[in-house]
Amino acid sequence: MSVEQNQLPVTYLKPAKGLAALNLRDLWDYRELIYFLTWRDLKVRYKQTLLGFSWVILQPVINMVVFTILFGELLSVPTGGIPYPIFSFAALLPWTYFAGSLSRSSTTLVGSANLISKVYFPRMVIPISGVLSGFVDFAIAFIILVIMMLFYRIIPTWNLLLLPLFLILAMLTALGFGLWLSALNVRFRDINHLVPFIIEIWKYATPVIYGSALIPEKYRFLLGLNPLTGVVEGFRWAILGEKYVQSFNPEPLFIISIAITFVVLISGTLFFRNTERTFADII
């Protein structure tokens, strides 16, 4: 009996002082909750919708059609010789994933107020599952990309193997900003109104409808300060191959984007961890 008792986990209650530790161990213990919340999110998202999972495909495809007409045909945005539809779709794919993930991870925490004020679990579980559930949508929309590559006879290069890395970069960026915004949202509900607006502006600040080559080389590093530039151009580079990047040199963009992402992610985690102890009291 005493052996069993010694094995019981001991929890210490104490007021938090100073900076909270990252405590990733705690998060690992609750990995199954992350799985279930992600799974719930997926189950619920398309219930009682007429088109169900088709929405996942329709959203980027309609965007692509509109962009192709507006920017590809009417405004003739330079694409370095790449057909505009696939040029924009290769960017819309990660963008749609990012926008959805950011919006979910910033707002679902407040949506779970009921849970937060009643049960203990590491609060980071919620924004994390918010960025994970977008992967399924991404995978489905990816099929369209494959079809388009066949249609435009684009031969994949070895670069394609690095695509998952850029997807992870998109996820970490969404998580980093999502942690900041969701923690702030607990205190200031303004964030709920702000997020769609941020995403709207961000879309134009990211080379989705245009390419980085459009920006003069002198200022191109500024574009890299937006981590999504690295993601989007990374996708194009992985899918369309070297031919696409002939017109500009993408490596510095990637490095700046990755660095920024990690700064945001680490600071976001610290901020979240340090404010989460008051969530139950003020949410």
Partner 1 sequence: MNDIAIHVENISKKYIIGALQERHDTLRDLIVSAFRQPFARKKNQENRVLWALRDISFDIHRGSVVGIVGRNGAGKSTLLKVLSRVTEPTSGVGEIRGRVGSLLEVGTGFHPELTGRENIFLNGAILGMKRTEIEKKFDEIVEFSEVTRFIDTPVKRYSSGMYLRLAFAVAAHLEPDILVVDEVLAVGDAEFQRKCLGKMSDVAEQGRTVLFVSHNMSAILRLTEETLVLEKGKVIMRAPSPEAVDFYLSSGFAETGERYWQGDEIPASAAPFRPLALRIRNGQGLVMDTVRSVEDMSIEFEYQLFAPISGLRIGFYLMSTRGEFVFTTFDTDEPALFEKLTLRPAGRYISRCKIPADTFNEGRFVVGINASSYRIQRYFQDERALTFNVDPAGAPGMQWPEQRLGPIRPRLDWQIEVI
Applying CB under 8 A, among 48, 76, 150, 197 the residue interacting with partner 1 is: 48
Alpha helices in 161-250 (DSSP H): 163-187, 190-205, 220-224, 227-240, 242-245
When asked if residue 10 is in the footprint of partner 1 (CB under 8 A), the reply is yes
* Burial class for 159, CB neighbours closer than 10 Å (0-12, 13-18, 19+): middle
When asked if residue 19 is in the footprint of partner 1 (CB under 8 A), the reply is no
Residues touching partner 1, count (CB under 8 A): 39
Applying CB under 8 A, among 21, 24, 36, 143 the residue interacting with partner 1 is: 36
For residues 46 and 52, what is the distance between their CA atoms, to the nearest angstrom? 5
241 CB neighbour count, 10 Å cutoff: 18
For residues 152 and 198, what is the distance between their CA atoms, to the nearest angstrom? 34
When asked if residue 8 is in the footprint of partner 1 (CB under 8 A), the reply is yes
Residue for token pair 């459009």: 214
Give whichever of 38 and 261 is closer to partner 1, judged by the CB atom: 38
10-18, 58-66, 144-152, 267-275 -> range binding partner 1 (CB under 8 A): 10-18
- 97, 138 contact by CB (below 8 A): yes
Applying CB under 8 A, among 57, 162, 225, 280 the residue interacting with partner 1 is: 280
Going residue by residue from 229 to 258, which x/- string records binding to partner 1, judged by CB under 8 A?
------------------------------
Task: Kindly list the distances between the CA atom of residue 88 and the CA atoms of 92, 156, 229, 237, 240, in Å, as whole numbers in the listed order.
Answer: 6, 17, 13, 13, 11
When asked if residue 12 is in the footprint of partner 1 (CB under 8 A), the reply is yes
When asked if residue 73 is in the footprint of partner 1 (CB under 8 A), the reply is no
Q: Buried (b) or exposed (e) across 65-103, using 16+ Cβ within 10 A? A: eebbeebbeeeebebeebbbbbbbbbbbbbbbbbbbbbb
User: What residues numbered 120-149 form the site for partner 1, per CB under 8 A?
Assistant: 120-121
Tokens in use for 21?
A: 């530790």
Give whichever of 144 and 280 is closer to partner 1, judged by the CB atom: 280
The residue type of 130 is G
For residues 84 and 77, what is the distance between their CA atoms, to the nearest angstrom? 8
170-178, 184-192, 210-218, 239-247 -> range binding partner 1 (CB under 8 A): 184-192
When asked if residue 281 is in the footprint of partner 1 (CB under 8 A), the reply is yes
Give whichever of 8 and 50 is closer to partner 1, judged by the CB atom: 8
- 103, 195 contact by CB (below 8 A): yes
When asked if residue 277 is in the footprint of partner 1 (CB under 8 A), the reply is yes
Give whichever of 30 and 262 is closer to partner 1, judged by the CB atom: 30
Closest residue by Cα to residue 29 from 124, 161, 153, 138: 124
Length of the chain (residues)? 283
Residue for token pair 């989705």: 208
When asked if residue 118 is in the footprint of partner 1 (CB under 8 A), the reply is yes
Tokens in use for 191?
A: 């964030």
Give whichever of 115 and 165 is closer to partner 1, judged by the CB atom: 115
When asked if residue 47 is in the footprint of partner 1 (CB under 8 A), the reply is yes
When asked if residue 9 is in the footprint of partner 1 (CB under 8 A), the reply is yes
Binding residues (CB under 8 A) for partner 1: these are 2, 5-6, 8-16, 30, 32-33, 35-37, 40, 43-44, 47-48, 114-121, 187-190, 277, 280-282
